[in-house]
Amino acid sequence: MISSNSLPLNNRDSAQTDEAHGGGDEPVRWETVVKTPGLTQATIIAGRLQAEGIPARAWQEGAGQAMGLMVGILGTGHVAVPDSFAEKARQILAEIESNPAPFFENDEESDE
């Protein structure tokens, strides 16, 4: 299920914040575009979206992160983007899901 979230921004995200809403005083509405089993996968996906120019963040419920959970509600990782970038993020994720192999194909060629 995809849901919208308002997540607080911090100094670490200031460049993404400016890009996400033009530096104005309006809050950014963050939308969860994918949920993963654990924070690690969510962080990798958020990094890929950032590489594509989409402000993205990975998060997990605090209690689950503190206990190192990777399953269940508290273990779920979330990837969120500003709602204005959600459709583009979903398109990129769909492309990756439909063709996940290029990285590994190149790696196999170098082994020969």
User: Reduced to 3 states, what is the DSSP secondary structure of residue 22?
Assistant: coil
Instruction: Give the residue carrying structure tokens 């849901």.
Output: 3
Residue 71 domain flag = yes
pLDDT tens for each residue of 49-96: 999 999 999 999 888 878 877 777 888 899 999 999 999 999 999 998
Residue 2 domain flag = no
> Which pTM was predicted?
0.66
Please count the structural domains in the chain.
1
Residue 8 domain flag = no
Residue 3 domain flag = no
Q: Which of 45, 31, 43 is nearest to 3 (CA)?
A: 31
Q: Which domain does 73 fall in, by range?
A: 13-98
Residue 103 domain flag = no
Residue 68 domain flag = yes
Please tell me the predicted confidence (pLDDT) of residue 67: 81
